Amino acid sequence: MLSKNDFNFRKIIIIHASDGYKVSCKNENLIILDPENNLVLQNSCYRIQALWIIGHSQISSGILERSKKFAFPIYILSVNLRNIGIWNSGAEGNTLLRKIQYQYTSIELGKYIIINKIENQLHLLKSIRQKPLSLKDNINNILSYKDSILSCNSIPEIMGYEGMASKIFFNHWFFEMDWQGRKPRTKINPINVVLDMGYTYLFYFVENMLNLYGFDIYKGVYHQAFYHRKSLVCDIVEPFRCIVDRTVLKAFHQGQFKEGDFSKINHQYKLDNKKIKYYNGWLIQGIMEYKESIFDYVQTYYRSFIREKGIDSFPFFDHRLNEVKL
Protein backbone atom coordinates (compact mmCIF):
# COMPACT_ATOMS: atom_id res chain seq x y z
CA MET A 1 0.00 0.00 0.00
CA LEU A 2 1.09 3.57 -0.65
CA SER A 3 2.60 5.28 2.40
CA LYS A 4 1.87 8.91 3.23
CA ASN A 5 5.46 9.89 2.44
CA ASP A 6 5.18 8.27 -0.98
CA PHE A 7 1.84 9.97 -1.53
CA ASN A 8 3.25 13.42 -0.74
CA PHE A 9 6.13 12.69 -3.08
CA ARG A 10 3.76 12.13 -6.02
CA LYS A 11 1.57 14.54 -7.98
CA ILE A 12 -1.24 14.51 -10.51
CA ILE A 13 -0.18 15.38 -14.06
CA ILE A 14 -2.89 17.10 -16.15
CA ILE A 15 -2.55 17.39 -19.92
CA HIS A 16 -4.88 19.47 -22.10
CA ALA A 17 -4.60 17.45 -25.29
CA SER A 18 -7.08 19.73 -27.06
CA ASP A 19 -4.39 22.44 -26.99
CA GLY A 20 -2.11 20.20 -29.03
CA TYR A 21 0.06 18.98 -26.15
CA LYS A 22 1.53 15.51 -26.65
CA VAL A 23 2.56 12.94 -24.07
CA SER A 24 5.22 10.26 -24.39
CA CYS A 25 7.75 8.37 -22.28
CA LYS A 26 11.52 8.33 -22.34
CA ASN A 27 13.25 5.82 -20.09
CA GLU A 28 11.41 6.21 -16.76
CA ASN A 29 10.18 9.75 -17.40
CA LEU A 30 6.91 11.16 -18.66
CA ILE A 31 7.47 13.78 -21.36
CA ILE A 32 5.00 16.49 -22.39
CA LEU A 33 5.62 18.49 -25.58
CA ASP A 34 3.77 21.54 -26.92
CA PRO A 35 2.49 21.71 -30.54
CA GLU A 36 5.97 22.93 -31.65
CA ASN A 37 7.59 19.93 -29.91
CA ASN A 38 9.13 22.10 -27.20
CA LEU A 39 9.56 20.39 -23.84
CA VAL A 40 6.87 21.53 -21.38
CA LEU A 41 7.33 18.97 -18.62
CA GLN A 42 9.59 16.07 -17.79
CA ASN A 43 8.54 14.13 -14.71
CA SER A 44 9.81 10.89 -13.22
CA CYS A 45 7.22 8.11 -13.34
CA TYR A 46 8.11 7.38 -9.71
CA ARG A 47 6.55 10.75 -8.83
CA ILE A 48 3.21 10.40 -10.63
CA GLN A 49 0.04 9.91 -8.60
CA ALA A 50 -2.25 9.95 -11.64
CA LEU A 51 -2.27 11.13 -15.25
CA TRP A 52 -5.34 13.04 -16.41
CA ILE A 53 -5.64 13.68 -20.16
CA ILE A 54 -8.35 16.22 -21.06
CA GLY A 55 -9.34 16.09 -24.71
CA HIS A 56 -8.89 13.41 -27.35
CA SER A 57 -5.39 11.99 -27.54
CA GLN A 58 -3.37 8.96 -28.60
CA ILE A 59 -1.66 6.89 -25.89
CA SER A 60 1.27 4.60 -26.60
CA SER A 61 1.72 1.13 -25.17
CA GLY A 62 4.86 2.47 -23.47
CA ILE A 63 2.78 4.86 -21.34
CA LEU A 64 0.32 2.09 -20.46
CA GLU A 65 3.19 -0.20 -19.51
CA ARG A 66 4.71 2.41 -17.19
CA SER A 67 1.29 3.11 -15.67
CA LYS A 68 1.16 -0.51 -14.49
CA LYS A 69 4.80 -0.60 -13.44
CA PHE A 70 4.67 2.59 -11.37
CA ALA A 71 1.05 2.18 -10.21
CA PHE A 72 -0.52 5.37 -11.51
CA PRO A 73 -3.92 5.38 -13.26
CA ILE A 74 -4.65 7.20 -16.51
CA TYR A 75 -7.94 9.11 -16.81
CA ILE A 76 -8.99 10.07 -20.33
CA LEU A 77 -11.61 12.82 -20.25
CA SER A 78 -13.45 14.84 -22.85
CA VAL A 79 -13.17 18.63 -22.83
CA ASN A 80 -16.41 18.80 -20.79
CA LEU A 81 -14.94 16.19 -18.36
CA ARG A 82 -17.02 13.26 -19.56
CA ASN A 83 -15.20 10.05 -18.69
CA ILE A 84 -13.98 8.47 -21.94
CA GLY A 85 -12.01 5.74 -20.20
CA ILE A 86 -9.79 4.79 -17.27
CA TRP A 87 -6.66 2.68 -17.33
CA ASN A 88 -6.51 1.52 -13.73
CA SER A 89 -3.50 0.37 -11.74
CA GLY A 90 -5.04 -0.23 -8.32
CA ALA A 91 -4.98 -3.22 -5.98
CA GLU A 92 -7.78 -5.04 -7.79
CA GLY A 93 -7.11 -8.40 -6.14
CA ASN A 94 -8.06 -7.49 -2.55
CA THR A 95 -10.66 -10.27 -2.28
CA LEU A 96 -10.91 -10.14 1.53
CA LEU A 97 -11.87 -6.48 1.45
CA ARG A 98 -14.47 -7.05 -1.24
CA LYS A 99 -15.98 -10.00 0.62
CA ILE A 100 -16.48 -7.73 3.66
CA GLN A 101 -17.96 -5.04 1.40
CA TYR A 102 -20.53 -7.42 -0.05
CA GLN A 103 -21.53 -8.65 3.40
CA TYR A 104 -22.00 -5.16 4.88
CA THR A 105 -25.69 -4.27 5.02
CA SER A 106 -25.94 -1.76 7.90
CA ILE A 107 -26.94 1.87 7.30
CA GLU A 108 -24.92 3.17 10.27
CA LEU A 109 -21.85 4.00 8.23
CA GLY A 110 -24.02 5.85 5.71
CA LYS A 111 -25.46 7.93 8.56
CA TYR A 112 -21.97 8.70 9.82
CA ILE A 113 -20.78 9.91 6.40
CA ILE A 114 -23.77 12.21 5.87
CA ILE A 115 -23.53 13.64 9.38
CA ASN A 116 -19.90 14.47 8.56
CA LYS A 117 -21.04 16.21 5.38
CA ILE A 118 -23.65 18.27 7.24
CA GLU A 119 -21.14 19.20 9.96
CA ASN A 120 -18.87 20.71 7.33
CA GLN A 121 -21.76 22.57 5.72
CA LEU A 122 -22.51 24.04 9.15
CA HIS A 123 -18.85 25.06 9.54
CA LEU A 124 -19.05 27.02 6.30
CA LEU A 125 -22.34 28.72 7.15
CA LYS A 126 -21.07 29.69 10.60
CA SER A 127 -18.03 31.28 8.93
CA ILE A 128 -20.26 33.88 7.21
CA ARG A 129 -19.53 37.13 9.03
CA GLN A 130 -22.77 39.01 8.50
CA LYS A 131 -25.48 36.49 9.32
CA PRO A 132 -29.08 37.49 8.57
CA LEU A 133 -31.67 36.33 11.08
CA SER A 134 -32.96 33.77 8.57
CA LEU A 135 -29.53 32.12 8.46
CA LYS A 136 -29.35 31.83 12.24
CA ASP A 137 -32.77 30.16 12.26
CA ASN A 138 -31.81 27.84 9.41
CA ILE A 139 -28.60 26.78 11.13
CA ASN A 140 -30.81 25.52 13.95
CA ASN A 141 -32.96 23.73 11.39
CA ILE A 142 -29.91 21.99 9.93
CA LEU A 143 -28.81 20.96 13.43
CA SER A 144 -32.22 19.36 13.98
CA TYR A 145 -31.97 17.50 10.64
CA LYS A 146 -28.54 16.22 11.62
CA ASP A 147 -29.87 14.95 14.95
CA SER A 148 -32.85 13.31 13.21
CA ILE A 149 -30.54 11.27 10.98
CA LEU A 150 -29.32 9.37 14.05
CA SER A 151 -32.75 7.79 14.48
CA CYS A 152 -33.39 7.04 10.80
CA ASN A 153 -34.17 3.43 9.89
CA SER A 154 -33.71 3.59 6.13
CA ILE A 155 -31.57 5.19 3.43
CA PRO A 156 -34.53 7.17 1.94
CA GLU A 157 -35.11 8.76 5.36
CA ILE A 158 -31.47 9.84 5.58
CA MET A 159 -31.61 11.18 2.03
CA GLY A 160 -34.65 13.27 2.93
CA TYR A 161 -32.89 15.04 5.80
CA GLU A 162 -29.69 15.39 3.78
CA GLY A 163 -31.62 17.02 0.94
CA MET A 164 -33.32 19.53 3.23
CA ALA A 165 -30.02 20.45 4.88
CA SER A 166 -28.25 20.86 1.54
CA LYS A 167 -31.02 23.04 0.12
CA ILE A 168 -30.67 25.44 3.05
CA PHE A 169 -26.89 25.36 2.77
CA PHE A 170 -26.77 26.21 -0.93
CA ASN A 171 -29.38 28.96 -0.63
CA HIS A 172 -27.30 30.80 1.96
CA TRP A 173 -23.77 29.94 0.81
CA PHE A 174 -24.24 31.08 -2.80
CA PHE A 175 -26.90 33.76 -2.28
CA GLU A 176 -24.51 36.37 -3.79
CA MET A 177 -24.22 34.41 -7.03
CA ASP A 178 -27.82 34.43 -8.31
CA TRP A 179 -28.41 30.96 -6.90
CA GLN A 180 -31.26 29.12 -8.68
CA GLY A 181 -30.94 25.71 -7.09
CA ARG A 182 -28.53 22.81 -7.42
CA LYS A 183 -29.25 21.18 -10.77
CA PRO A 184 -26.47 18.70 -11.55
CA ARG A 185 -25.63 18.33 -15.22
CA THR A 186 -28.44 20.60 -16.42
CA LYS A 187 -26.14 23.66 -16.62
CA ILE A 188 -28.95 26.13 -15.88
CA ASN A 189 -26.43 28.81 -14.86
CA PRO A 190 -22.64 29.28 -14.69
CA ILE A 191 -22.34 28.31 -11.03
CA ASN A 192 -23.81 24.86 -11.67
CA VAL A 193 -21.32 24.40 -14.51
CA VAL A 194 -18.38 25.19 -12.24
CA LEU A 195 -19.69 23.15 -9.31
CA ASP A 196 -20.03 20.16 -11.65
CA MET A 197 -16.40 20.67 -12.74
CA GLY A 198 -15.13 20.86 -9.16
CA TYR A 199 -17.15 17.88 -7.94
CA THR A 200 -15.95 15.87 -10.94
CA TYR A 201 -12.28 16.50 -10.13
CA LEU A 202 -12.93 15.66 -6.49
CA PHE A 203 -14.68 12.46 -7.60
CA TYR A 204 -11.71 11.33 -9.72
CA PHE A 205 -9.25 12.09 -6.94
CA VAL A 206 -11.25 10.08 -4.38
CA GLU A 207 -11.70 7.25 -6.90
CA ASN A 208 -7.93 7.14 -7.35
CA MET A 209 -7.46 6.86 -3.57
CA LEU A 210 -10.03 4.05 -3.20
CA ASN A 211 -8.51 2.06 -6.04
CA LEU A 212 -5.14 2.06 -4.25
CA TYR A 213 -6.66 -0.24 -1.64
CA GLY A 214 -8.69 -2.49 -3.92
CA PHE A 215 -12.22 -1.45 -2.99
CA ASP A 216 -15.09 -2.41 -5.25
CA ILE A 217 -16.01 1.20 -5.94
CA TYR A 218 -19.47 0.17 -7.21
CA LYS A 219 -20.50 -1.13 -3.75
CA GLY A 220 -21.41 1.76 -1.46
CA VAL A 221 -22.71 2.03 2.09
CA TYR A 222 -25.03 5.01 1.51
CA HIS A 223 -25.48 5.33 -2.25
CA GLN A 224 -27.07 2.07 -3.27
CA ALA A 225 -26.06 -0.20 -6.13
CA PHE A 226 -27.12 1.17 -9.49
CA TYR A 227 -25.98 0.21 -12.97
CA HIS A 228 -22.54 1.72 -13.70
CA ARG A 229 -22.67 4.04 -10.68
CA LYS A 230 -19.51 4.14 -8.59
CA SER A 231 -21.51 4.27 -5.39
CA LEU A 232 -18.61 4.05 -2.92
CA VAL A 233 -16.87 7.00 -4.58
CA CYS A 234 -20.14 8.95 -4.29
CA ASP A 235 -20.16 8.06 -0.57
CA ILE A 236 -16.62 9.12 0.26
CA VAL A 237 -16.92 12.35 -1.75
CA GLU A 238 -19.75 13.61 0.50
CA PRO A 239 -17.73 14.93 3.50
CA PHE A 240 -15.35 16.71 1.08
CA ARG A 241 -17.87 18.53 -1.14
CA CYS A 242 -17.45 21.56 1.12
CA ILE A 243 -13.94 21.97 -0.35
CA VAL A 244 -15.38 22.70 -3.79
CA ASP A 245 -18.15 24.88 -2.34
CA ARG A 246 -15.59 27.01 -0.50
CA THR A 247 -13.24 27.16 -3.50
CA VAL A 248 -15.98 28.36 -5.89
CA LEU A 249 -17.21 31.12 -3.57
CA LYS A 250 -13.65 32.23 -2.87
CA ALA A 251 -12.99 32.43 -6.63
CA PHE A 252 -16.12 34.54 -7.06
CA HIS A 253 -14.96 36.99 -4.40
CA GLN A 254 -11.49 37.20 -5.99
CA GLY A 255 -12.86 37.84 -9.48
CA GLN A 256 -11.71 34.50 -10.91
CA PHE A 257 -15.28 33.48 -11.68
CA LYS A 258 -16.94 35.69 -14.32
CA GLU A 259 -20.26 35.25 -16.11
CA GLY A 260 -18.67 36.64 -19.27
CA ASP A 261 -16.62 33.44 -19.51
CA PHE A 262 -19.79 31.48 -20.30
CA SER A 263 -22.13 31.30 -23.27
CA LYS A 264 -25.72 30.03 -23.37
CA ILE A 265 -26.61 27.43 -25.98
CA ASN A 266 -30.00 25.66 -26.08
CA HIS A 267 -30.86 26.93 -22.57
CA GLN A 268 -27.63 25.52 -21.10
CA TYR A 269 -24.48 27.38 -20.12
CA LYS A 270 -21.06 26.39 -21.40
CA LEU A 271 -17.63 27.57 -20.29
CA ASP A 272 -15.51 29.07 -23.06
CA ASN A 273 -12.96 26.46 -24.19
CA LYS A 274 -10.17 29.03 -23.85
CA LYS A 275 -11.05 29.45 -20.17
CA ILE A 276 -11.26 25.75 -19.24
CA LYS A 277 -7.58 25.44 -18.34
CA TYR A 278 -7.76 28.56 -16.16
CA TYR A 279 -10.82 27.34 -14.24
CA ASN A 280 -9.30 23.86 -13.95
CA GLY A 281 -6.25 25.47 -12.37
CA TRP A 282 -7.93 27.13 -9.41
CA LEU A 283 -10.46 24.34 -8.89
CA ILE A 284 -7.79 21.65 -8.69
CA GLN A 285 -5.53 23.83 -6.58
CA GLY A 286 -8.39 24.26 -4.09
CA ILE A 287 -8.84 20.48 -3.86
CA MET A 288 -5.12 19.76 -3.59
CA GLU A 289 -4.89 21.96 -0.49
CA TYR A 290 -6.76 19.12 1.24
CA LYS A 291 -5.08 16.16 -0.46
CA GLU A 292 -3.39 14.91 2.73
CA SER A 293 -6.72 14.93 4.57
CA ILE A 294 -8.35 12.95 1.74
CA PHE A 295 -5.47 10.46 1.85
CA ASP A 296 -5.72 10.12 5.65
CA TYR A 297 -9.49 9.67 5.42
CA VAL A 298 -9.39 6.89 2.82
CA GLN A 299 -6.49 5.10 4.51
CA THR A 300 -8.26 5.15 7.90
CA TYR A 301 -11.57 4.17 6.29
CA TYR A 302 -9.85 1.16 4.71
CA ARG A 303 -8.17 0.05 7.94
CA SER A 304 -11.39 0.39 9.94
CA PHE A 305 -13.53 -1.31 7.30
CA ILE A 306 -11.33 -4.33 6.65
CA ARG A 307 -10.96 -4.90 10.41
CA GLU A 308 -14.74 -4.52 10.80
CA LYS A 309 -14.39 -1.97 13.58
CA GLY A 310 -17.15 0.08 15.17
CA ILE A 311 -18.35 3.43 13.84
CA ASP A 312 -16.23 5.37 16.35
CA SER A 313 -13.09 4.04 14.65
CA PHE A 314 -13.98 5.50 11.24
CA PRO A 315 -12.52 8.84 10.08
CA PHE A 316 -14.30 12.18 10.40
CA PHE A 317 -13.13 15.07 8.21
CA ASP A 318 -13.00 18.48 9.90
CA HIS A 319 -13.00 21.17 7.21
CA ARG A 320 -12.13 23.97 9.63
CA LEU A 321 -8.85 22.37 10.67
CA ASN A 322 -8.12 20.58 7.38
CA GLU A 323 -7.58 17.35 9.25
CA VAL A 324 -9.13 13.96 9.80
CA LYS A 325 -10.15 13.01 13.30
CA LEU A 326 -8.98 9.46 13.83
At 326 the pLDDT is: 74
**Strand 262-265 relative to strand 268-271, pairing:** antiparallel
Give the model confidence (pLDDT) of 251-287 as tens digits: 999 999 998 999 998 888 999 988 998 999 999 999 9
Mutual angle of helices 95-103 and 291-306, in 10-degree steps: 80
Please tell me the pTM assigned to this model.
Answer: 0.91
Domains of the chain, residue spans: 4-87, 95-325
* Interatomic CA distance for residues 121 and 137, integer angstroms: 15
Between 68-82, 139-153, 218-232, the lowest mean confidence (pLDDT) is in 68-82
CB-based burial of residue 292 (10 Å sphere; 0-12 exposed, 13-18 middle, 19+ buried)?
middle
SS3 call for 107: coil
Q: What is the CATH number of domain 95-325?
A: 1.20.120.920
Residue 221's contacts (CB-CB under 8 Å, 6 or more residues apart) are 104, 106, 107, 109, 110, 113, 232, 235
Class of domain 4-87: alpha beta
Mean pLDDT of the chain: 91
